[in-house]
C-alpha cells in the first residue's frame, strides 16, 4: 500500500482499450491483402505497380504535407497506407501510373491534410480522389481490362454494370465468375469472395461495426429486388458488381466520415444503399457507389444532429414551450 501502486487516485476513464490507430489501420491492411493477392492473380503484376505507386505517393505526400505545415509526423499511423491501398483498389489496372500518383496526392494533401489530418477530413480521401480522377480522366478511368488476359495481350472488356445497363451487347459473366472476380472492373472491387473474407475479418476484430455494411448491402438488395421484379439473379449481379462490397466494408465504414451513434450508422448505410441504387438505375453513370458514399459523408454531421438521443428526464424544447404556454 505504501508504494502507492495499489491505491491510485486518478480521473476517469479508468479502463482503456489497447486499440491504437496504427493497430486498427494494420488490421485494415491485413483485411485488404487477400483482395490484393486476388487482384494480382486476376489482372497481373501491373496491379502491384499501381498499388505501390498510390501507397508510396500517399505516404510521401503525408510526410511532406506535415513537414510543410509544421505539424508532427503521422506517417507511422499507417492511415496513409490504407488510403493508398483503397485508392488503388478503386482504379482500373490499365491506369497510367502518374494519374494514380495524382489521385494519391489529392487524397492526402487536399482532402486530408488541408482539413487537419487524420480524423479531421470531411470526406473519405480515397473516394474523393477516385471521383476527381473519374471527372478528370474519364477515358483512362473507364478502360477495363479483361481478367486473366494479362499473360497474353490485354483485352479490353465491359463491366457487368455496363452490360446490365445495356451499354454493350457482351454476355454477362456467370454468377460463379462474379463471385471469384473473373469480370471487368476496378482492380480491387471484382473479387467478391476475398472482399467478404476481409470484411468478416474486420467484423471479427471489431474494427468495424456490422451496422453500416449490413444496412448498405441490405438496402441495395431490397431496392434491386423491387427494381428487378423479384428476380434474385438480378439482385445477386447488382450486389457483386461495381464497388458495393468494397464500399460497404472498407470505405463507408471509415471512422472520421461515418456517424458514431448506432442508429445514425443504420441511417447512413441505408442512405448509401439508396443513392447507389438511384444512380445505377436512373442516372447516366453505370456505377454510383463512390458518389453515394461521398454524399452521405457530407450529410453525416446532420444525421448525427437529427438522431441525437434525448437525455434522460428532459423534455423536448417545443414541448417545454407548449407546457409553459399552458
Partner 1 sequence: MAEKKSLGKEFTKGLIAENPVFRLVLGTCPTLATSTSVVNALGMGISAMIVLVCSNIVISLLRKVIPSKVRIPAYIVVIASFVTIVQMIVKAFVPALDAALGVFLPLIVVNCIILGRAEAFAGKNSVIASAVDGLGMGVGFTIALCCMASVREILGAGTFLAGAQNLLVLFGDNVLNGFNGFTLPWTEVFNPMTVFILAPGGFLTFGLLMACANKLAESKGKPRAELGGCQACPMAKNCALLADGKGCSEEKKEGEQV
Q: How far is the CB of 122 from partner 1 (least distance, A)?
A: 12
Q: How far is the CB of 148 from partner 1 (least distance, A)?
A: 29
Contact segment (CB under 8 A) with partner 1 among 130-138, 227-235, 251-259, 302-310 equals 130-138
Can you tell me which residue has the cell 454494370?
161
Per DSSP (E only), the strands in 90-209 are none
Q: Is 137 in the site for partner 1 (CB under 8 A)?
A: yes
Residue 127, H or E segment: helix 125-136
Q: Is 120 in the site for partner 1 (CB under 8 A)?
A: no
Q: How far is the CB of 35 from partner 1 (least distance, A)?
A: 27
> What is the phi-psi region of residue 160: left when phi exceeds 0, alpha when psi lies from -120 to 50, beta otherwise?
alpha
Q: How many CB atoms lie within 10 A of CB 33?
A: 13
Q: How far is the CB of 196 from partner 1 (least distance, A)?
A: 33
Please tell me the distance from the alpha carbon of residue 178 to that of residue 184, in angstroms, as a whole number.
Answer: 9
Does residue 182 contact residue 148 with C-beta atoms inside 8 Å?
Answer: yes
Please tell me the distance from the alpha carbon of residue 176 to that of residue 5, in angstroms, as a whole number.
Answer: 60
**Biggest CA-to-CA distance, the chain:** 82
Q: Is 135 in the site for partner 1 (CB under 8 A)?
A: yes
Please tell me the distance from the alpha carbon of residue 27 to that of residue 249, in angstroms, as a whole number.
Answer: 13
| # binding residues, partner 1 (CB under 8 A) | 10
Please tell me the distance from the alpha carbon of residue 30 to that of residue 123, in angstroms, as a whole number.
Answer: 23
Q: How far is the CB of 136 from partner 1 (least distance, A)?
A: 4
Query: Which is nearer to partner 1, 132 or 146 (by Cβ)?
Result: 132
Contact segment (CB under 8 A) with partner 1 among 6-14, 22-30, 134-142, 145-153 equals 134-142
Contact segment (CB under 8 A) with partner 1 among 23-31, 133-141, 187-195, 216-224 equals 133-141
Does residue 92 contact residue 141 with C-beta atoms inside 8 Å?
Answer: yes
Q: Is 140 in the site for partner 1 (CB under 8 A)?
A: yes
Does residue 131 contact residue 294 with C-beta atoms inside 8 Å?
Answer: yes
Q: How far is the CB of 287 from partner 1 (least distance, A)?
A: 18
Q: Is 64 in the site for partner 1 (CB under 8 A)?
A: no
Query: Which is nearer to partner 1, 132 or 227 (by Cβ)?
Result: 132
Q: Is 138 in the site for partner 1 (CB under 8 A)?
A: yes
Q: Is 301 in the site for partner 1 (CB under 8 A)?
A: no
When binding is defined by CB under 8 A, the residue of 98, 156, 175, 301 that contacts partner 1 is 98
Contact segment (CB under 8 A) with partner 1 among 15-23, 128-136, 172-180, 270-278 equals 128-136
How far apart, in Å, are the Cα atoms of 257 and each of 27, 57, 103, 150, 301? 18, 22, 19, 36, 9
Q: Is 148 in the site for partner 1 (CB under 8 A)?
A: no
Please tell me the distance from the alpha carbon of residue 36 to that of residue 194, in angstroms, as a whole number.
Answer: 9
Q: Is 132 in the site for partner 1 (CB under 8 A)?
A: yes
Cell numbers at 268, concatenated: 447512413
| Interface with partner 1 (CB under 8 A) | 98, 102, 110, 114, 132, 135-138, 140
Amino acid at each position: 500500500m505504501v508504494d502507492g501502486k495499489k491505491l491510485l487516485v486518478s480521473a476517469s476513464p479508468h479502463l482503456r482499450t489497447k486499440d491504437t490507430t496504427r493497430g486498427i489501420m494494420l488490421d485494415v491492411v491485413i483485411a485488404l491483402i487477400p483482395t490484393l493477392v486476388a487482384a494480382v492473380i486476376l489482372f497481373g503484376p501491373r496491379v502491384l505497380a499501381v498499388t505501390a505507386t498510390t501507397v508510396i505517393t500517399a505516404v510521401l505526400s503525408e510526410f511532406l504535407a506535415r513537414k510543410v505545415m509544421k505539424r508532427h509526423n503521422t506517417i507511422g499511423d499507417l492511415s496513409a497506407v490504407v488510403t493508398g491501398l483503397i485508392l488503388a483498389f478503386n482504379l482500373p489496372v490499365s491506369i497510367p501510373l502518374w494519374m494514380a500518383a495524382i489521385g494519391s496526392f489529392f487524397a492526402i494533401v487536399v482532402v486530408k491534410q488541408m482539413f487537419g489530418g487524420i480524423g479531421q477530413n470531411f470526406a473519405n480521401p480515397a473516394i474523393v480522389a477516385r471521383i476527381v480522377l473519374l471527372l478528370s480522366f474519364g477515358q483512362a478511368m473507364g478502360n477495363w481490362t479483361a481478367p486473366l488476359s494479362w499473360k497474353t495481350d490485354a483485352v479490353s472488356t465491359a463491366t457487368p454494370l455496363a452490360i446490365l445497363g445495356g451499354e454493350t451487347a457482351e454476355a454477362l459473366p456467370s454468377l460463379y465468375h462474379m463471385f471469384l472476380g473473373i469480370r471487368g472492373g476496378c482492380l480491387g472491387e471484382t473479387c467478391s469472395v476475398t472482399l467478404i473474407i476481409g470484411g468478416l475479418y474486420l467484423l471479427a476484430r471489431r474494427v468495424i461495426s456490422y451496422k453500416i455494411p449490413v444496412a448498405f448491402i441490405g438496402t441495395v438488395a431490397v431496392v434491386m429486388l423491387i427494381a428487378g421484379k423479384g428476380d434474385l439473379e438480378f439482385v445477386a449481379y447488382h450486389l457483386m458488381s461495381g464497388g458495393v462490397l468494397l464500399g460497404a466494408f472498407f470505405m463507408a465504414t471509415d471512422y472520421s466520415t461515418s456517424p458514431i451513434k448506432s442508429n445514425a450508422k443504420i441511417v447512413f448505410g441505408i442512405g448509401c444503399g439508396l443513392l447507389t441504387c438511384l444512380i445505377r438505375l436512373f442516372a447516366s453513370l453505370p456505377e454510383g457507389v463512390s458518389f453515394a458514399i461521398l454524399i452521405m459523408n457530407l450529410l453525416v454531421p446532420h444525421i448525427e444532429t437529427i438522431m441525437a438521443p434525448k437525455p434522460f428526464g428532459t423534455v423536448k424544447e417545443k414541448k417545454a414551450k407548449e407546457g409553459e404556454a399552458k
